[in-house]
Amino acid sequence: MAKHATPMLDELEKGPWPSFVSDIKQEAAHRAANPNGLDYQIPAEAPEDLLGVLELSYEEKETHWKHGGIVGVFGYGGGVIGRYCDQPEKFPGVAHFHTVRVAQPAGKYYSTKFLRDLCDLWDLRGSGITNMHGSTGDIVLLGTQTPQLEELFYELTHKMNVDLGGSGSNLRTPAACLGQSRCEYACYNTQDMCYQLTMDYQDELHRPAFPYKFKFKFDGCPNGCVCAMARSDFAVVGTWKDDIKIDQEQVKAYAAGELKPNAGAHAGRDWGKFDLQAEVVDRCPGHCMKWDGAKLSIDTKHCVRCMHCINTMPRALHIGDERGASILVGAKAPVVDGAQMGSLLIPFIDCSAPYDDVKEVIEKIWDWWMEEGKNRERVGETMKRLSFQKLLEVTDTEAAPYHIVQPRTNPYIFFKEEEVPGGWERDIKQFRERHQR
């Protein structure tokens, strides 16, 4: 019988959806049975007490968690988030229930051995409950006690070759889409850039000195499978400069219905005959496509790299050959200010290893934000407070039309005198020769 009655949580097991309540109950039963005869290092009833404290919170409509405190292992300023229950007598299994973040592999490729080892380790030294994966992308191990942290860290780093992730005012665990490992749209090697920057910025990941969190994310193309431009302070999004490559024979095959649009992704329902004009050309946000019934043409200078035509007809259209990435800065969820998307800073940057061009931009932004950012202010908020123009200055980026969000209504890019040929000063005599008083 369950340790705590959980009638409200039980409701969450009904319906067709996967249920975290069922998962936690399954783990509670597994720990109670202890089929492998483990010498559990934290209370075996942790999952039962987790359900109990959640049910209490549902009843009382307030949380019973406190947070903060120990933040990791010796020398690390992140990777562990201290959690404490404020009803420790009722729920001793979760009196201390710290979260551990572990860096996920780029593209989230795992071997089954790694996952088994991780689960075995967490069964022994934690609650056995994981979150694969947290919002930032890390492996999240939910619930352990302070004496287990160093032991866990040793096992992870020495035996499993993996490190803690980021938390607090740190660089957070960088995340990448699976990129060129599986995707023909990837414009650069996202996994390699993610790995290299993770290794190069270890100090920023583990020893906090930022005003607040800072996230990198690497998308191989504008489809944005890790949503870099919405979720990261510094988004690297693959793009290309030249024309989309067109195979006209394959275009005709799509138009004739010989090839399924979107690689058959919408084949579960009859949407009628594929209409290239209506479904591709008319939907182009840049209005840069033409289809005359025999030939498809694209006016590249008006292409906004939305990916719709390529996604719809992947056998006919392909990303260009001159590949790199765009950099967008300042996306964030609400805290100090409201949520915002990233602003385009650099439209095209070389993305070949060792990624010095990208790192140069990152470090200039960090130098500025570490000096000027207020406590708990994301770089997107510093940008808003001190102006996008300031960001252009500190990154040595020349202002260009694509930096203007709303032309004329909010012209926030101003020229400086030294940027204008001839400066501000005028010869009043010469002026008066041309203009009467």
User: Can you tell me which of 143, 165, 211, 330 binds another protein, judged by CB under 8 A?
Assistant: 211
Rule CB under 8 A: is residue 339 a binding residue for another protein? no
Stretch that binds another protein, among 10-18, 43-51, 118-126, 166-174 (CB under 8 A): 166-174
Q: Which is nearer to another protein, 247 or 372 (CB)?
A: 372
Quote the tokens at residue 282.
């008319």
Q: Which is nearer to another protein, 240 or 368 (CB)?
A: 368
The angle formed by the CA atoms of residues 130, 131 and 135, to the nearest 5 degrees, is 155
Q: Which is nearer to another protein, 274 or 366 (CB)?
A: 366
Rule CB under 8 A: is residue 150 a binding residue for another protein? no
Cis peptide bond prior to 208, omega within 30° of 0: no
Tell me how far apart the alpha carbons of residues 178 and 208 are, in angstroms, rounded to a whole number: 28
Cα distances from 358 to residues 120, 193, 346, 352, 394, in angstroms, run 39, 10, 10, 9, 15
Q: What is the DSSP letter of 89?
A: T
Which is it for strands 129-132 and 175-176: parallel, antiparallel or unpaired?
unpaired
Q: Which is nearer to another protein, 67 or 416 (CB)?
A: 67
Chain centroid to CA 151: 30
Q: How far is the CB of 328 from another protein (least distance, A)?
A: 22
DSSP H helices, 201-305, are: 202-206, 228-231, 248-255, 276-279
Q: How far is the CB of 95 from another protein (least distance, A)?
A: 11
Q: How far is the CB of 219 from another protein (least distance, A)?
A: 24
User: Can you tell me which of 367, 402, 405, 416 binds another protein, judged by CB under 8 A?
Assistant: 367
User: Can you tell me which of 371, 400, 416, 432 binds another protein, judged by CB under 8 A?
Assistant: 371
DSSP H helices, 201-291, are: 202-206, 228-231, 248-255, 276-279
Within 394-433, which residues bind another protein (CB under 8 A)?
none
Quote the tokens at residue 148.
């287990």
Rule CB under 8 A: is residue 208 a binding residue for another protein? yes
Q: How far is the CB of 187 from another protein (least distance, A)?
A: 32
Rule CB under 8 A: is residue 333 a binding residue for another protein? no
Residue 83 burial (CB count, 10 A): 19
Rule CB under 8 A: is residue 147 a binding residue for another protein? no
Rule CB under 8 A: is residue 141 a binding residue for another protein? no
Stretch that binds another protein, among 276-284, 310-318, 369-377, 419-427 (CB under 8 A): 369-377
Rule CB under 8 A: is residue 314 a binding residue for another protein? no
Stretch that binds another protein, among 206-214, 250-258, 280-288, 399-407 (CB under 8 A): 206-214
Within 66-105, which residues bind another protein (CB under 8 A)?
66-72, 75-78, 81-82, 84, 86, 99
For tokens 């950099």, the residue is 327
Quote the tokens at residue 149.
């942290």
Instruction: Say if CB 209 and CB 169 are below 8 A apart.
Output: yes
Instruction: Return the half-sphere exposure (C-beta side, CA atoms, 13 A cut-off) of residue 410.
Output: 7
Quote the tokens at residue 353.
């290893």
Residues near another protein, by CB under 8 A? 66-72, 75-78, 81-82, 84, 86, 99, 167-170, 207-213, 367, 370-371, 374-376
